[in-house]
Chain A
């Protein structure tokens, strides 16, 4: 294709049929899944189906992507540009913290699954770190409930394992 990627218009369709218009394809470079489709497919049909992600979640993912456009552009070494780069990085980090702070568990999990499906590594790192921070200090039974895991140990087996990790159970 003679036209550059950044001028292409993209359409993403979520699982519940909502279409998102993306004016600048650079926005979705963090989503490897979509990036690969764009690179492989040279046709004019720029409607990409995202069947596993609903509109609410896809909107949030795109919001995150927009904020992170060009966040890994490293300066050419000039002091002013470097300062700008670091302060922007700090600002993005703060924004990320706000972004994950008030998410309820259901939304967080759907976002996580979407990030995994769309192969957005940076977003996945951010969300999984958030979940890891959430389970910090929680007891085993609470961890089971949070992830909806069935306990397949007998009480004796459970006791034996607790004995092997004494520093974790006080």
Chain B
């Protein structure tokens, strides 16, 4: 029997919504209709319902200098609304998140910083070697370059010893670049420092298309390509490059898998632009809405600001105490149900994840048994299985033993 052509509604809303994120990614190049539909809210609601995936945000509250990340689901379709991170060592601070549901976290116990990667849905996690932690971190990003086997890279921008450089053309601030590659299980510091004018600062950041994008205060964009490990600066085209085009709020977001920008124009209109061509640096405005009217509505506070996009149709708005879901299709807003208030939370991490286990184990051949990693391994071994007080006691015991041993040798 020859196959009929299935109607696209069945393929999109019944079949693709039962597949995986990888299949959906691949199906986006099949045709324009599929690319469009697989970025819409209607499609995603069905997808999350059918596949029981998790989609939401990690908020990171700061309390007495301690971070406490909490997960909040942004979709009603799935029953999972909690993703506790209590299986990880405390204290914990989230640094970055990837598309595959991987978190990069910093565990700062006894002032010994250790970085780890984890997948909250499957509770898999692993410590990774440390970068040069004596330099202060400015920004971090992580991206997945391959899934079988898992291959990811981490970018770390930090302040070098030489904080600024004076040239004929002016004073420049410097940032150093370190990259961690999970395939070689090592950090690598790039010899060239990033230099930009001293009065220009890094502002909003997002990781899309296998690259890290950061908007500066002078409306330039810094981009770091994870694959080639090269970076460059380029300026936004007209009218976005004009510093007075937007009074406030410029937020880089992910839109349809690519780079998007949300800005507030004349304190009234919110515009969403997307980068159409990366080679030619052309942008197109795709949406606008009267933000001033919106925040005057019930449920909104004066300090509401756009955060990120869930998909083509739904935007997340930081409403200071809570998060609102704004639907472009009908202009409706609703608050996300949250366990605790959002008060003053500055950092948010969007997470979309399945429950498929990934292999975070490092191949033995990749582990470099140098003294530094040995020291970290010993610390990991001591601290990991025990709770706070016990491991502290163990530490004291070891210290006493070592002192005793040394005294015996000297006497």
Binding site for B on A (CB under 8 A): 56, 104-110, 112-113, 116, 124, 128-129, 131-132, 135-140, 143-144, 147-153, 158, 160-170
A168 pairs with B4, CB closer than 8 A: no
Chain B residues with CB below 8 A from A167, complex form: 21-22, 25, 99-100, 144-147
Choose among B6, B35, B146, B209 the residue with the greatest number of A CB atoms under 10 Å from its CB: B6
Chain B residues with CB below 8 A from A108, complex form: 3
Closest to B5 in A: A148
Any A CB within 8 A of the CB of B217: no
Chain A residues with CB below 8 A from B136, complex form: none
Least CB distance, B101 to chain A, in whole angstroms = 11
B6 pairs with A112, CB closer than 8 A: yes
Chain B residues with CB below 8 A from A169, complex form: 25-26
Complex Cα spacing A117 to B185, Å = 54
Contact of A110 among B4, B99, B277 (CB under 8 A): B4
A124 pairs with B31, CB closer than 8 A: no
A152 pairs with B31, CB closer than 8 A: yes
Least CB distance, A60 to chain B, in whole angstroms = 12
Least CB distance, A101 to chain B, in whole angstroms = 17
Q: State the 7 A-B residue pairs at the shortest beta-carbon distance, nearest first.
A: A168-B25, A164-B257, A106-B1, A165-B25, A132-B18, A166-B210, A128-B14
**B134-176 to A contact mask, C-beta < 8 Å, 1/0:** 0000000001111110000000000000000000000000000
Any A CB within 8 A of the CB of B409: no
With an 8 Å Cβ cutoff, the count of chain B residues facing the other chain is 44
Contact of A109 among B3, B26, B148 (CB under 8 A): B3
Chain B residues with CB below 8 A from A160, complex form: 258, 277-278
A128 pairs with B210, CB closer than 8 A: no
**B10-26 to A contact mask, C-beta < 8 Å, 1/0:** 11001110111111111
A113 pairs with B4, CB closer than 8 A: yes
B209 pairs with A163, CB closer than 8 A: yes
Complex Cα spacing A112 to B143, Å = 38
Chain B residues with CB below 8 A from A135, complex form: 15, 19, 23
Q: A-side binding surface: helix, strand, loop or mixed?
A: helix
Any A CB within 8 A of the CB of B27: yes
Contact of B1 among A104, A112, A116 (CB under 8 A): A104
Least CB distance, B310 to chain A, in whole angstroms = 16
Chain A residues with CB below 8 A from B26, complex form: 138-140, 143, 165, 168-169
Any A CB within 8 A of the CB of B32: yes
Least CB distance, B152 to chain A, in whole angstroms = 10
Say yes or no: A162-B29 contact (C-beta < 8 A), given A128-B15, A167-B100.
Answer: yes
B14 pairs with A124, CB closer than 8 A: yes
Say yes or no: A144-B99 contact (C-beta < 8 A), given A131-B15, A170-B146.
Answer: no
A109 pairs with B19, CB closer than 8 A: no
Choose among B28, B30, B145, B277 the residue with the greatest number of A CB atoms under 10 Å from its CB: B30
B256 pairs with A143, CB closer than 8 A: no
Say yes or no: A165-B28 contact (C-beta < 8 A), given A110-B1, A135-B19.
Answer: yes
Complex Cα spacing A151 to B6, Å = 16
Q: List 20 A-B contacts (CB under 8 A).
A: A104-B1, A106-B1, A128-B14, A132-B16, A135-B15, A136-B20, A139-B26, A147-B5, A147-B30, A148-B5, A149-B31, A153-B31, A161-B35, A163-B278, A164-B209, A165-B26, A167-B146, A168-B24, A169-B26, A170-B147
Complex Cα spacing A121 to B275, Å = 41
Closest to B99 in A: A167
B30 pairs with A151, CB closer than 8 A: yes
Closest to B9 in A: A116
Chain B residues with CB below 8 A from A137, complex form: 23
| Residues 106-159 of B contacting A (Cβ, < 8 Å) | 143-148
Closest to B98 in A: A167
Least CB distance, A156 to chain B, in whole angstroms = 9
Any A CB within 8 A of the CB of B408: no
Complex Cα spacing A160 to B301, Å = 39
Least CB distance, B53 to chain A, in whole angstroms = 14
Any A CB within 8 A of the CB of B208: yes
Least CB distance, B396 to chain A, in whole angstroms = 46
